[in-house]
Structure formats: C-alpha cells, structure tokens
Chains A and B, each alone.
Chain A
Amino acid sequence: MANKLLIVPGMTGCKLLLNDEDVGWPSELTLKAILAGEAGGFGFKLDSLKPDSIVETLSMEYLPDSAQWQPMRTTLKANSEIKPGPTLELAYNQLTDFGFFEYDWRADIRESGRLLMEYLKQNMPENGQWKIIGHSLGGLVTIVASKLYARENNDSDTAFSQLASHVVLLASPLDGTMVAADAIINGDNLSGGFSTYFKEIVRTWPSLHQMLPAWYWSVKKIVNGAEIDDDYCLQDDAPWIASKPEISLSMLQRARDARKDFFRAPLSRMNNVKTKIIMSRAWATNNHVVRDALNNLTVSNAGEPGDTSVPEETVRKMAEQIELDRMLSFGDDKETQKHALVGCDPVIAAAVKDFFNQ
C-alpha cells in the first residue's frame, strides 16, 4: 500500500459538533454574531441569538495546572460535549487526495498532538508511511506528535521517521502569531460588535494562548514618542497583562510550557523525515503590539511580509539553521493567497505536491 496523505488542518479548520450536532462554525455562528452583536452589529434580541448562549457553548474549562493537558469540560453547556466534526475542505481544495485529521482546535496543542500521534500509530499504512501537511496550528500539532513519539522511543530523534516519510509545515506559526494576540486582547474575530463576548470565549482556549508571539519585540512601549522593545514576549507574565487582568495566567503558563517542551527547535525529532517549512510573504502581517503609558495595547498596522497571520521575516530570524535550510517562502505583493487559503493557492499547492514526490 502506498504512503498515506494526511492534512492536519489549522485553527477553525474543522466543524465543531455539540452533542453530535453542528454548532454552525464558522458561517452560521459568524452570522449570529453579526446579528446579535452590539456596537457594529444589529443588536437583535432573539432567543436563538443570545450572546450568552454562544459564550456558554464555545467556552472550555481547564484546570489551572498546565501539566493537565485534557480539558475538564469542552463546553460550559450542562450535560453537553463538543467534538471535532468534518474538515472545511474549502480551505484545502488543491489538496484533494489527502485525508484529514480532525481535532478540537481550541484545545491544548499538546493534547491534540498526543491524539495525532495515536492516530498515526493506529492507522499506519501497510508497507508505507505518512506524508503529512500541518497547516497553521496543524503544523504545531504535528511537531508535538513527533516529539511525543520520540519520548516513547528512548527520545530517538529518528523514531518519527518510522511513522512519516514527509512533513510539510505549511504557514505554521512556529513562533506565534499576532492574530492570536488580537483575538485574546481585542476579541477580533467573529464580528466587531461581538468582540466583548468573543474575548470571553477565546480566553478559555489554550491553543490560542500557545500561539501568542514568542519574539521579544512582540511588545513595544512608547518612550519619548518612539517605539522601544519591551524585552519580553506576549507569552510572558509581564507588564502587557497589567491592563488585562482577565487574561488567565495559567493559560500563559500553558503557552510557555508548550514552547519550552515542543516548539523551540521544532524539527529536532524529525531527523530522517523529509521536512519542508513553506510560507507566504505576499501580505503585510502584524508583528507587534504597542503598549502606551496607560497600558493600553494596540496591534500595529505596520506589517512585515507574511501571510497576514505568520510574519515571514520574524520566523526566519527566530529559526535555527536546520529550519532555515528547509524553509521555502513564496510571493511578493499579493502574489499568493492569504493564510487561511494557502491550501487553495496554485503555486503553494504545486510546491507541496512536488515536495511529496521527492
């Protein structure tokens, strides 16, 4: 049997099922958020549009202990459970030969990585190996799977090559993304009018915290009118959080632990696996927040080249030599699709397919 092709989708890459029924992510929930949202929304007061109900449905509950990877509850709705549903194939329409690993993208990335490792082991192709694309968050999940599998095999850096022959980390936020910061700080996602509620929801999601930027220039302060590096990153329990007491310190601890244990030197347990880090640099991409004297935080509009989510130059600056040797970036001036749709881009999809044939 030939090698199996697998996509590990990114954040929001698959549906969520509440007691086996589609919760309507992303289209229906976005529409509801616009209709129910206040400032900027329509402010409809229908029972089915109650923001509190959406908050209750999508919020998770974790113990404060970062060592506990599994959630206490996947939804705050009584006697209910959220599970991952089918992948949204519209984001991967050029990768139609692939199967999908479906997982709860809100959850702790370490737990999703553990589930991926189990999936890879239990569904191994006979006489073959996996060829894996980890898109965005899915790339981080794949990295965790490789390192957990190494741990199961005397920390061998070549053990993962028994499972996978090729791995592409596609538009993966190896050092984080300002999109995660924007969602946690400002609730900027579903719709402007719903941001107050969305903030409340995403602050219960470990994965978003684990994708907070890890570069030290991700927070800048204003000194004499100029932006100066604050010398810490958005994963740190540092002055940036002073005006945001509702941000969970235990979630930041989860971010730092995941970074330390898995995301620094991301390819270190993929020796003997053919690996490629593919990114776009065709769009202006935010790379820092500005903290003013009152501790207000503003996401910078002055972007560096990236894919609107992953800043390409920052990832290269943070990369070790082994990652740089495997890094392939595309585009200039809107020449590729944006972050969420790189799996539909003719150039990037061709590069992925060609690599898998090498």
Chain B
Amino acid sequence: MNKISLIGSVFIFSALILIIQAADRKIPCNYSCQDCFPYGCIPETTNQNRDIVKSKQSSGDTTIKTYCGKCFEDADCGGAKCENGLCSKYVSPVPPRPIWPSFQLITTEIAFANCTTAYFKHPIISAGYLFEGAFRKVVPLKRVDGSFVAVDLPKFYWHAGGAFAFSGSSQNIFGEIGITYYYPVILFSSYSLLGEYQRTGSALWNSPSLNRVGPVLSLSIMQNIYLKGGYLLSVDNNGKSTAYGSIAYMKDLLGDLAPDRYKKYLPKELSK
C-alpha cells in the first residue's frame, strides 16, 4: 500500500466516524419549522398526547426535549404539511400594515324632535347614516414569538352623521357632527357629544322652513343602538326651540331581533 492510499483510507475512515457520530447526535430545535427544514421538530416523548406535550413544552416545561428529524404530523413542521417525513415549504406571511380605525352604520332613526312644539304629531321616522373616524392610526408591533400585537388603541373619534325623512306632510333633515369616546361599560360602548342641526317644514327646499341647532349627547349600545337627547334652539326669528330625543339603530336590527311573526305589529315604516 503506498502512502497516498494510506492517507486516503485514513481520511475516508475519519469521515465515516464523523457521519456516524452526527447521525447519532440529535440536533435540538424549538418547535420552529425553520430550525430543521425540510425535517420536522420532534418531541422526544412520543407516547403521550402530542397536544399535551406541545402545550407543556410551550409553557416552559424543559423536561421535554425536541430534535430535528423526520416529521410524523403537521405540528412537527411548525404547522405546515408533513408528508413522507418531510415538511412542506409554506408561503411567507403578509405582515400587518398600520390601519386607520373607522366605524360606519346605515340607520333607522325614530326622533322626537318637535315634541315641545305645536308641530308635534308623531315621531319622525327617518333613514340615516353615521361615520366615525379615529384621530390616529394603529401600528401593530412584532413580538418575540413572531406574532403581532397592537395596544393603546384610539379612544377618541370624530363623528359625522345625518338622517332624512321626506315622507308625509312634514319633511325633516338632521345633521350632526362631534366627538366620540370609545370605552365599553356593560352594554354601552361609546359616548358622543354632538352639535345637531334640524331643518323641518312641509317643503324643505322652500321657505318657510324651521332651522334649529343645539347640543346632543349620544350613547351607543353594543355598537348597534344609539340613544340621543338634547335641546335644539331655533335660529329663525319666530321659530320655537324644542327638546330633542331619538333612537337610531342599525337598519336591519329589528329583522335580527324580532321573529317574522311579530313584524305585522310594527309600524309600516319600521317593518321594511
């Protein structure tokens, strides 16, 4: 045997020893699909409910060891598909962007807007719309575990809304603008201080019509019902000021809450 053959044999033998040692040594991992890809991250304890093993390991149980190896199930691949012992390559996630919180609602509104004047005959039932927008954006932040979180969410929103009732002999337009504060307490979810405008008359686009403005407080119940109350001052020379109250609610709310068999008892305008 010449010298070169001897060196070659020693080299091959050493390489074999290293390969055998590497195969015998289990490479630890952290239940992450990236650690071992395309192999899985396998818990050493396989005789238990894997859900329990996994949740124990996640919650800091250091007695459960994991190693890279052929996967048995999707959980071994960090949630990707496990097939024939190998993990599937999963597409990258779309990271969340900063968002601008807003709220909008098409409403039905039952207003008692002329109740302290001679004009009052019945409540004004109108169709309305409201919009609320936050004063700032929300920026999600990445956690150490890879998930995202957004806290310190906006509590103050600007508010704009309107309602229109053109049916019957009396026509009405309501407009409102103000500030809303979000803070859920029991059934209430937000509170608004609004400036309300009312124009009422038999033909709104012609004079004479009455114009009123005034402050109104609004309480939102579960983001679907708005209770409003305030006092509207006449801005016309001979007009009457009046107390104002209304209930506005999501347009389809009665359809949700009242079974069809009771709808025949509702006023025609509300059963639509």
Contact = CB atoms under 8 A, between A and B. Distances in A.
Interface of A: 15, 21-24, 27-28, 86, 88-90, 93-94, 96, 155, 157, 214-217, 231-233, 259, 264-269, 271-272, 274-276, 281, 316-332, 334-338, 341, 344-347, 349-351, 354-355, 358
A215 B182 contact: no
Nearest to A28: B259
B73 to A, nearest CB: 7
Nearest to A315: B147
Contacts of B59: 217, 317
Contacts of B223: 93, 337, 341, 344-345
Given A271-B88, A332-B152, A326 B93 contact: yes
Nearest to A347: B101
Contacts of A265: 73-75, 77, 79-80
Contact of B33 (A24, A322, A349): A322
Given A28-B259, A334-B183, A322 B78 contact: yes
A320 B87 CA distance: 13
Interface in B72-106: 73-75, 77-81, 83, 88, 90-91, 93-94, 96-97, 99-106
Given A320-B31, A320-B78, A271 B91 contact: yes
Contacts, number: 197
Given A264-B75, A324-B147, A332-B152, 17 more contacts: A23-B259, A24-B259, A89-B250, A90-B253, A216-B52, A232-B52, A265-B79, A269-B81, A321-B33, A324-B145, A328-B140, A332-B151, A336-B153, A341-B222, A346-B102, A349-B103, A358-B94
A349 to B, nearest CB: 8
Interface of B: 31-34, 49-52, 54-56, 58-59, 73-75, 77-81, 83, 88, 90-91, 93-94, 96-97, 99-106, 132, 134, 138, 140, 145-155, 157, 182-185, 189, 222-224, 250, 252-253, 255-261
Nearest to A318: B55
Given A281-B149, A346-B101, A271 B80 contact: yes
B91 A93 contact: no
A350 B78 contact: no
Given A264-B75, A269-B81, A318-B55, A86 B255 contact: yes
B74 A264 contact: yes
The 6 closest A-B pairs by CB, nearest first: A320-B79, A322-B79, A265-B74, A321-B78, A327-B147, A344-B223
A83 B154 CA distance: 41
B80 A157 contact: yes
B151 A335 contact: yes
